[in-house]
Amino acid sequence: LVVRPLAIATWDRVKATEAAQVVLERGGRALDAVEAGVRIPEADPDDMTVGYGGRPDRDGHVTLDACIMDDKGNAGSVTFLEHIMHPISVARAVMEKTPHVMLSGEGALNFALSQGFKKENLLTKKAEKEWREWLKTAQYKPIVNIERHDTIGMLAIDSVGNISGACTTSGLAYKMRGRVGDSPIIGAGLFVDNEIGGACATGLGELVMRTCGSFLVVELMRQGRTPQQACEEAALRIVKKQDFKDIQVGFVAINKKGEHGAFSIQPGFSYTLSQNKKTQVTDAKSYLK
Ligand code: SD4
């Protein structure tokens, strides 16, 4: 079985999957591809859900979560990280240069600085202005499908068939200080098992964490489900347990054969696939229509 290299990401993320595809097309590792891919929205001030330009917590601090997994089952993660534009690369450094999987907060920041990452202000004027507006009512209500570009989870298969994944986010806008979502949690926001496939999640992280969402999707594929069936079943698991009218969770998955799937609770979730020099954004199927 020969699978053409591919990169797939949550939401409308053309530049990110294309950046990953450049790495894959020149024979690079899936790990390098997903890192290069998600660094695009991390550095984009107009992307208000990831990295620089992300919406702050309710106290006005941009705090970032990210994780990465390679084809050997290695993982690295940072949570509650401030002032660093590329949390995914810090997560990779945690994976490759420390005996640990996850570093958090001040410890993660100090580690990043020791690795040569620069301390920067990540709160843009635009995000600050919105936050100050929000403070007038200070009502906390995560909005479904915020502007249709949200947390980025990315999965890739390289030319030798290895799978890796990355996930990075500024988390829910106006969250409590210290809140960590699913995105940096191995098995929740992202899971990769190179024998089977990979999955990533977006949406209300609390629900993804409670169901070990991405791990569940990969385990369902292990039991024989297609990526599409596995994403649907994982979403149903969430729907069965609570009132889901105002919440969004979306999954994207790939398997070893290069098949992909995506599914969400609410309509409005999309994913981006780059393969064979083509990039396509597709609306995912959803539980509610
Ligand atoms: C979180 N899952 O922090 C992230 C946010 C997100 O679509 O994905 N929004 O809960």
Ligand 1 pocket check: which of 13, 148, 150, 185 to mutate, most ligand atoms within 8 Å of Cβ? Answer: 150
What single letter denotes the amino acid at residue 153?
Answer: G
Number of H helices, E strands in the chain: 8, 13
d(CA 186, CA 68): 8
Q: Kindly state the tokens that stand for 162.
A: 């290895």
Q: What is the CA radius of gyration of the chain?
A: 17
Ligand 1 pocket check: which of 12, 55, 81, 183 to mutate, most ligand atoms within 8 Å of Cβ? Answer: 183
Tens-binned pLDDT, residue by residue, of the chain (289 aa): 678 999 999 999 999 999 999 999 999 999 999 999 999 999 999 999 999 999 999 999 999 999 999 999 999 999 999 999 999 999 999 999 999 999 999 999 999 999 999 999 999 999 999 999 999 998 877 666 554 458 999 999 999 999 999 999 999 999 999 999 999 999 999 999 999 999 999 999 999 999 999 999 999 999 999 999 999 999 999 999 888 888 899 999 999 999 999 999 999 999 999 999 999 999 999 999 9
CA of 2 to the centre of ligand 1 (A): 34
CA of 153 to the centre of ligand 1 (A): 10
- What is the predicted pLDDT for the residue at 142? 67
Q: Is 180 a known ligand-binding residue?
A: yes
pTM: 0.97
Q: Is 181 a known ligand-binding residue?
A: yes
CB-defined site of ligand 1, < 6 Å:
150-151, 169, 171-172, 181-183, 202-205
- Do 264 and 238 meet the contact criterion of CB atoms below 8 Å apart? no
- Measured by CA distance, the residue closest to atom 6 of ligand 1 is 203
Q: Tell me the three state secondary structure of residue 255.
A: strand
Q: Strand 270-275 to strand 260-264: parallel, antiparallel, or no bridges (unpaired)?
A: unpaired
Which residues are catalytic, by number?
151
- What is the predicted pLDDT for the residue at 246? 83
d(CA 255, CA 233): 16
CA of 1 to the centre of ligand 1 (A): 35
d(CA 88, CA 75): 11
Contacts of 222 (CB under 8 A, 6+ apart): 193, 196
Show the CA angle centred on residue 75, arms to residues 66 and 192, nearest 5°.
95
Atom number, ligand 1, closest to the C-alpha of residue 204: 10
Contacts of 164 (CB under 8 A, 6+ apart): 29, 30, 31, 33, 34, 68, 69, 70, 71, 155, 156, 158, 192, 198
Atom number, ligand 1, closest to the C-alpha of residue 248: 7
Atom number, ligand 1, closest to the C-alpha of residue 189: 2
Ligand 1 pocket check: which of 202, 206, 214, 264 to mutate, most ligand atoms within 8 Å of Cβ? Answer: 202
- What is the predicted pLDDT for the residue at 149? 53
Tokens 């496939």 locate to 197
Q: How many CB atoms lie within 10 A of CB 72?
A: 11
- What is the predicted pLDDT for the residue at 48? 94
DSSP secondary structure string, 119-170? Answer: P-----HHHHHHHHHHHHH----PPTTGGG---EEEEEE-TTS-EEEEEEE-
CA of 205 to the centre of ligand 1 (A): 5
CA of 151 to the centre of ligand 1 (A): 6
- Measured by CA distance, the residue closest to atom 5 of ligand 1 is 171
- What is the predicted pLDDT for the residue at 266? 93
Closest CA to 47 of 10, 21, 78, 75: 10
Atom number, ligand 1, closest to the C-alpha of residue 175: 3
